[in-house]
Amino acid sequence: MSYVYLAHDVASNERYAIKVLSPALAQDQNAMARLRREAGLGIRLAHVNVCHIMRFGETEDGLVYVVMPFVEGEILADRTHRMGHIPLAETAKFVREMSEGLSVAHEMKIVHRDLKPENIMICRDAAGVDYAVVMDFGLAKERKAGSELEKLTATGIILGTPEFMSPEQLRGKPLDPRTDVYSLALMAYEMLTGKLPFAGRTQQETMIARLRSDPVPIRKARPDLDYTAAVERVLLKGMERSADDRYQSVLEFATAFGQAAQGDEGSGSGAGLLGKLFGR
């Protein structure tokens, strides 16, 4: 629905990404409403762990665009695929950073609703330390929405990514920040194992498994990596089918996961490395 350009500001010498809505969709009132909503949310989400929208505008000849920081790095999905799995301490660090960015959104009553590894960029700071950035709040939904926004998001079950949707999202139920807790826990599981915790021959079977079955325990999925019971308990609680049984915030989940990881010497990560990573 858009083209994205890399732009260079000759005055500031900074690089930006400019998303331009395709001309055909610029005439679509629903598409324009979604883009305006995305821009309105994004401008309020300025945080080091969020790729936020800086400006929304329209050119004289009718091209509609948004300006964002240029975020350079490696997509989390690509890193997990390349490495097979991501070490525990590094996973805990990324989970903490994603949770900090998401928490800012949640404080604004915004749920991301499409958390997935393809929407996370692993960037590198000036000191050479990797950090996670949450991208694409285009499917984000304000929990207290007006009637116009409710119409746009009424088909939300179609708008998310099925592999990482929470059970309540698959059922088309009302969403709150705990749906992002579920997706974040599921992503952490995949980072640690290189696998998804629910099996199925088709996408539909996988979705049904999330509604009816328990996730495969991480120590069964990857017995070769020797994770502790504490790490497994945190992940399973984060992926509880009922939102009431999960951690009630992304920061609560990230804290519990970090503590479990710090005590998990069997992974070879060690508390010392975890402390260094969190001390970025």
Ordered by start, the domain boundaries in the chain are 2-69, 74-278
pLDDT value at residue 128: 94
Secondary structure (3-state) at 54 = coil
Decide: 138 and 46 in contact? Cβ < 8 Å.
no
Whether the pLDDT of residue 159 is over 50: the answer is no
Residue 181's identity, in one-letter code, is V
Whether the pLDDT of residue 272 is over 70: the answer is no
Name the CATH topology of 2-69: Phosphorylase Kinase; domain 1 (3.30.200)
**Model pLDDT for residues 61-104, shown as the tens digit of each residue:** 888 888 988 999 999 999 999 999 999 999 999 999 999 999 99
Reported as a pLDDT band with limits 50, 70 and 90, residue 238 is very high
Q: How confident is the prediction for the chain on average, in pLDDT?
A: 83
- The residues annotated as belonging to the active site are 114
Residues 6+ apart with CB under 8 A from 114: 136, 138, 139, 140, 159, 160, 161, 164
In this structure, CATH architecture of domain 74-278: Orthogonal Bundle (1.10)
Q: Average pLDDT of 256-261?
A: 97
Higher-confidence residue of 182 and 280: namely 182
Q: Average pLDDT of 255-275?
A: 64
Least Cα distance to 80 among 200, 182, 193, 199 occurs for 193
- pTM of the full predicted structure? 0.81
Whether the pLDDT of residue 142 is over 80: the answer is no
Angle, vertex CA 148, rays to CA 63 and CA 158, nearest 5? 80
Whether the pLDDT of residue 156 is over 70: the answer is no
Which one-letter DSSP state was computed for residue 127? T
Reported as a pLDDT band with limits 50, 70 and 90, residue 211 is confident
